[in-house]
Structure formats: structure tokens, C-alpha cells
Structure 1
Amino acid sequence: MTKVISFQIPKSKREFVRYQEDRGRHFYDKLHQHPQLQLTVILEGKGQFLSGDYVGRFQAGDVFFLGENAPHVFRSDLEYFGGEEGFKSAGNTIFFDFDALGKALGELEELQTLRRFKNFSGLCFQVFGDSKNSILELFKAFSKSSKLIQFQLAIQLLSILEESGQDLVSLNRPLVLRGLSERDGKRIDQVIQFLLENRFRQIKLDEVAAEAHLSKEAFCRFFKLRTRTTFTRYVLQLRINEAQKLLKETDLGISEIAYTVGFENLSYFNRAFKGIVGNSPRAFRK
């Protein structure tokens, strides 16, 4: 498995802002982190967005903001990895490197409000409402702008985020450990890939512990410390996440969906779905 966890954005050491366009069948599918803040607009494609204890979905039009060293992956749905035509993924991202500002971040009064973003380390957010609309408009101008204008636009984007209030919705809980070491990053990536590939069948604790090369007891401590949730809860979230997709995109019956994503008991599926999503599968489908 490719080992990419401490991910470095290609850039000059003196470059505060970096603009990147991703185009292809699917997005980069390995859990990774980087010291730059990240603002991403999804233009095309859909799949699962994973960060810490958060398991959710992304689709065209979504806007996500990630703090420094937030382990994350935009994992396109399975059909984007096949050979069938018509599946494309596209997204635009702006990376902000506060270290490039040097002492100015701490000394210039005009930049004092930006220091707040240092508190977002390890966190991810989704942006909604007027803040999202304003961000989408500024992104349109970014690719055609000069470096100076891009710098100005970057400050405007951060100002929107700083003033976004309830439009900026936190998705995950702060990690106990800020960022992952390369060794732990590789290990948790292997575990998550294994869970994603096997989430619809019964996964025994000793199986997944073996993937991490740990005893069952050590694995449970390792997983919870680095994701802020239990192995059992995480698998449950993965299954419910897939059920949400099937409820929205297919005409399958609720009981068939429950069985498809790994539940043997419809009542338990309904309880688990409502506990995670907030309403019943039937209400979610409407």
C-alpha cells in the first residue's frame, strides 16, 4: 500500500497561498495530512469524506475547510474506480501556509484575527449558507488571477470563514493527538482501507487488529486514541453512510438496503440509522 500520510503540498517556501485543480476519475484515496490549511470546493463526483471520528458524504457543490494537520480523505464511491465511462471527479482547492507569513502573523495588528485559525488544528468543517455562496464566487476568479490578486482573494476567503458563524459547521471532534506520526498514519490508513473494503460483512476484532499488527487490546486503544471513536462505532457509521447513498440513489426497499450494507436485523438498522442521522430511513428518503 502506498505510504502517504505526511503530505507536503508542492510550493515555494515563501508562498502563502497555493491553488490546485484536481481532475480525474476519482480523488486521491489515501488518508493523509499536511501542515497547510485547506479550503476545497467539490465540482463533480461524490463519495465519502472521512476525518477523525467523522464519516460523511461529499457531492458537487460542497465546500469543506480543514485545519492544519487534519487527517482526511475524499474517497470517491466504488463506481469511480471502475472502467465504466461517465464517472468524473473534479475539485478546486486553496492551501494556506501560515508559516510563510513568518513573524508577521504574530506582530502585525492587521493579521491578528488570522491567529484564530491556529486553533483549528486537526479539525474539519463544512461551509453552508451565504458564506458558501461567497466562497464559490471568489473561487471563480482565482485561477485567472495574478499572484497578488490571489493573495488578496485568499485574505478575503479567510475573512469570510472568520465571520461565517453558524455557516461553518464542525464535523469532527478534536483529536487527542494533534496530527499523526508517519508510522501511526500508515497503520490507521491500512485499517481504514480494510474497513472500507469489508464493511458490509461481519468484521471480527482480531481480524482488524491483525491488519494493524497489534493485539486486540492494543488495537482498541490505538484506534480510539486516533479517531475519537470505537472500532464498532466507526464500522456502523460506514454502513449507515452507504445506506444513505442507497436510499437517495436507488429504489431498493429499506429492508433490502439494511441487508446490503451488513445488517441482519431491520429493527436494529432503523435504530442505528436514526441514532446517527437523526431521523428514520423512511423519513430520510422523502
Structure 2
Amino acid sequence: MKVIPFKIAASQAESIIVSEDILPYFYGHMHRHKEMQLTLILKGTGTLIVGNYTQPFAPGDFYIIGANQPHILKSDPIYYQNNVEGSVHAVHIFFEHENTLSHLINLPEMEFAKSFLEKTRQGLQIPEGYAPEAARLFLKASRSSGLKRLLISIKLLQYLSRHVKEYKLLTTDFAAAPFPAVEDIRLNEVYQYTLEHYAENITLERIAAVVHITPHAFCKYFKKHTRKTYNAFLNEIRINEACKRIVNGDATCIASIAYATGFNSAINFNKVFKKTTGKSPSEFMKEYRHKWDNALKLLRQPACLIPMFASSLSVLPASSSIAAQGLVWPV
């Protein structure tokens, strides 16, 4: 499979495009498009890859994906096995600002938007504390049309550029430039193979054979295009899966999670886990349980108060009834 040059279906009457996915699983191919993309996950879990970055995604996550950035929302395997319509739900807003909105963006009054759109080329995640207000404006824009959608979208960009602090970067600077098509194809093959076989013993010889080059050439190629070694990338995928298993209670002990995600020892797993997340597995589990307790307290609040703390509910495991229904902020 290759990174697909995706064409966003646009109406001549709309300069800002809205798309809503209510599907058995998310679109399973690495792809890119000329539009900047804002995505709010309402239902479903999996792995997000943007450029050279990978992390788990869950309900309540809010991402900004830069124009022409290769990306994929890879649903967890259970979604492909169940194949049930409506298992995942996300809303996307696409801004084609280089051509369609260029005259508007270049106005002096829109300088805030112009500078912010430049920052989005690396890809951003909106921090939890700002997600409820950002999601409120986002959903209000997505449910509007015509001039009203445009005006609300401008207000959303203003909020994102002036009020949101400490964005989480999804890529490093080099990744802003698009890869040539042939490199897209190779990287996608590597990403897809790793996502499907991370729990196995993936040697350099084995992964190099996937793209039909020697192990030495593969090491140079992967480092050149991602600024990290393949083993570092593989460990990130494995730790992402380990975090999901801890959250979902899929294993009885840390050692069983280590072996289930491809590590050959619990000691090595603990070392890589802390290097990747900044916490030990036990610290991560303790922090998750604290957030879970807080989420349960929120559920005891009157229903009208819960949306005020909606971002806190994103810690709920996918198996819970709340996460299964997705998160919806009122507008």
C-alpha cells in the first residue's frame, strides 16, 4: 500500500469542508491531502501516526494535522474483527488555506490565523484543559453551513491561536516537507507491517525485506526520513499498545503485558516504558486509576455539569459504557 493522495470532496458553495465518520473502523490507509485537518475523536480507539510520530488515540482527543502530512488513524484490531457499523465516530473540518482561503487569510485582521496555520504544518494535539471550549466551537462550526460556518471557524482559529497554550507537537520540523511518492510507499509498508506484527521478533533483516533493501540501507533510509532508528519506532508502537492494555485491564501483571507486546524481559520493558512515557508502568497505572476515580465522581454529577469536564472522560477505557457511546459537547 502507498500513501494515498486523498481528495477531499468539496462543494463549490463551501470553502470549509466538514466530514463525519461513523464507521466500523477508521480509514485504514496512510494518506495525505492539501487541506489542514482538525479532527475530534468521539468514539473509538487505536493508533495515530502523523509523519514520524505515533501515539494511542481515544475519545476526546483533538488533533490538528498539517497540510500534506502523511497520517493514519489505525483502529485497534478488535474493530476489524467485529466489523460493526458505528463502532467509531469522528468529525473532521478541512481548511484549504493556500488557495481557497488565501485572500481571507492575507487580510491584516487575519494575521493571527496566518501565523497559526504556519505552526500547524508540524501537527498539533490540543491539550486536555482547552479541549472542551475548542470542541464546542468545532462542533458548532461543523453543524453550521455557509457564512455562519466560516465565521464560527474563524472564531475557532482565533481561540486556538490566542488562548491555547502548550500544544503537543506531533512531528519534528523536518517532517513538514512532504516525502516523494516512492518514499511514501516504502514508509507506509514499514508502518503497516509494524502495526500488524509489533508483538513478534522483528529483526532488521525482517523489516528490511518488507521494502526489499538490505538491513544497512534500511537503517540509513529509516533514520533519514524519520530522524529516529527503527528500533525506537518499534518500541513506541509497543509501548502505545502496552498503555492501552493497562488502561483496558487486558493483563494480570506488568510482566504479561511486556511479553504480549514483544519485549523479551520485564526489566527491558520497564526501562523502555519509562524512557518513552516519563513514568514507570506502575506509576502510569496508579495515575490512570486516579483519573478513573475522578471520572467516576464526574458520572455522579448532574448530567448538565458533565460536559464542563468532558476532557477528563477521555481516560475511560473503550469497554466502558460512556466511552462506547462517545463524547458529545453541547453547542
Output the TM-score relative to the length of structure 2: 0.80
Spell out structure 1 runs of 4+ moving beyond 6 A: none
Superposition pairs of residues 5-20 of structure 1, within 5 angstroms = 5-12=4-11, 15-20=14-19
Q: In 2, Cα distance between the equivalents of 1:182 and 1:15?
A: 30
Deviations 1:173-204 (Å, cap 9, x if unpaired)? 12356012222111111111111111111112
Cα distance change of structure 1 residues 129 and 177 upon mapping to structure 2, 3 Å threshold: closer
Residue 132 of structure 2 corresponds to residue 126 of structure 1: no
Per mean C-alpha deviation after superposition, the further-off stretch among 79-88 and 68-77 is: 79-88
Question: How far 1:53 moved relative to its partner?
Answer: 2.9
Q: In 2, Cα distance between the equivalents of 1:86 and 1:95?
A: 24
Q: In 1, Cα distance between the equivalents of 2:23 and 2:140?
A: 22
Would you say how many aligned residue pairs link Structure 1 and Structure 2?
A: 284
2:54 touches 2:237 (CA, 8 Å); kept in 1? yes
Question: How far 1:60 moved relative to its partner?
Answer: 0.8
Give the structure 2 partner of residue 203 of structure 1: 202
2:49 touches 2:73 (CA, 8 Å); kept in 1? yes
Deviations 1:120-168 (Å, cap 9, x if unpaired)? 3641211124532112112332343231111011111111111134252
> Identity, % of aligned pairs?
32
One-letter identity of the residue aligned with 2:255 = S
SS for the counterpart of 2:5 is coil
Question: How far 1:25 moved relative to its partner?
Answer: 1.1
Question: How far 1:276 moved relative to its partner?
Answer: 0.4
Cα distance change of structure 1 residues 154 and 209 upon mapping to structure 2, 3 Å threshold: same
2:22 touches 2:86 (CA, 8 Å); kept in 1? no
1:176 touches 1:225 (CA, 8 Å); kept in 2? no
Residue 95 of structure 2 corresponds to residue 102 of structure 1: no
SS for the counterpart of 1:175 is helix
Q: In 2, Cα distance between the equivalents of 1:155 and 1:104?
A: 10
One-letter identity of the residue aligned with 2:155 = Q
One-letter identity of the residue aligned with 1:227 = T
Per mean C-alpha deviation after superposition, the further-off stretch among 129-138 and 226-235 is: 129-138
One-letter identity of the residue aligned with 1:211 = V
Q: In 2, Cα distance between the equivalents of 1:155 and 1:91?
A: 21
Deviations 1:87-112 (Å, cap 9, x if unpaired)? 70000010111121234433x21122
Question: How far 1:206 moved relative to its partner?
Answer: 1.9
One-letter identity of the residue aligned with 2:187 = I
Q: Which runs of 5+ in 2 are unaligned?
A: 287-331
One-letter identity of the residue aligned with 1:217 = H
Q: In 1, Cα distance between the equivalents of 2:59 and 2:31?
A: 22
Q: In 1, Cα distance between the equivalents of 2:83 and 2:193?
A: 24
Q: In 2, Cα distance between the equivalents of 1:105 and 1:142?
A: 18
Give the structure 2 partner of residue 267 of structure 1: 267
Deviations 1:240-279 (Å, cap 9, x if unpaired)? 1111111111142101111111111111110110010111
Superposition pairs of residues 41-80 of structure 1, within 5 angstroms = 41-80=40-79
Deviations 1:6-38 (Å, cap 9, x if unpaired)? 222121478431111011011112111112111
Per mean C-alpha deviation after superposition, the further-off stretch among 204-213 and 234-243 is: 204-213
Superposition pairs of residues 130-209 of structure 1, within 5 angstroms = 130-175=129-174, 178-209=177-208
1:49 touches 1:73 (CA, 8 Å); kept in 2? yes
Cα distance change of structure 1 residues 149 and 25 upon mapping to structure 2, 3 Å threshold: same
SS for the counterpart of 2:252 is coil
Deviations 1:65-103 (Å, cap 9, x if unpaired)? 112222211111110001365970000010111121234
Give the structure 2 partner of residue 215 of structure 1: 214
Cα distance change of structure 1 residues 14 and 142 upon mapping to structure 2, 3 Å threshold: closer
Cα distance change of structure 1 residues 6 and 224 upon mapping to structure 2, 3 Å threshold: farther
1:105 touches 1:111 (CA, 8 Å); kept in 2? yes
SS for the counterpart of 1:166 is coil
Residue 254 of structure 2 corresponds to residue 254 of structure 1: yes
Q: In 2, Cα distance between the equivalents of 1:118 and 1:41?
A: 18
Q: In 2, Cα distance between the equivalents of 1:14 and 1:188?
A: 37
Give the structure 1 partner of residue 23 of structure 2: 24
2:38 touches 2:62 (CA, 8 Å); kept in 1? yes
1:223 touches 1:230 (CA, 8 Å); kept in 2? yes
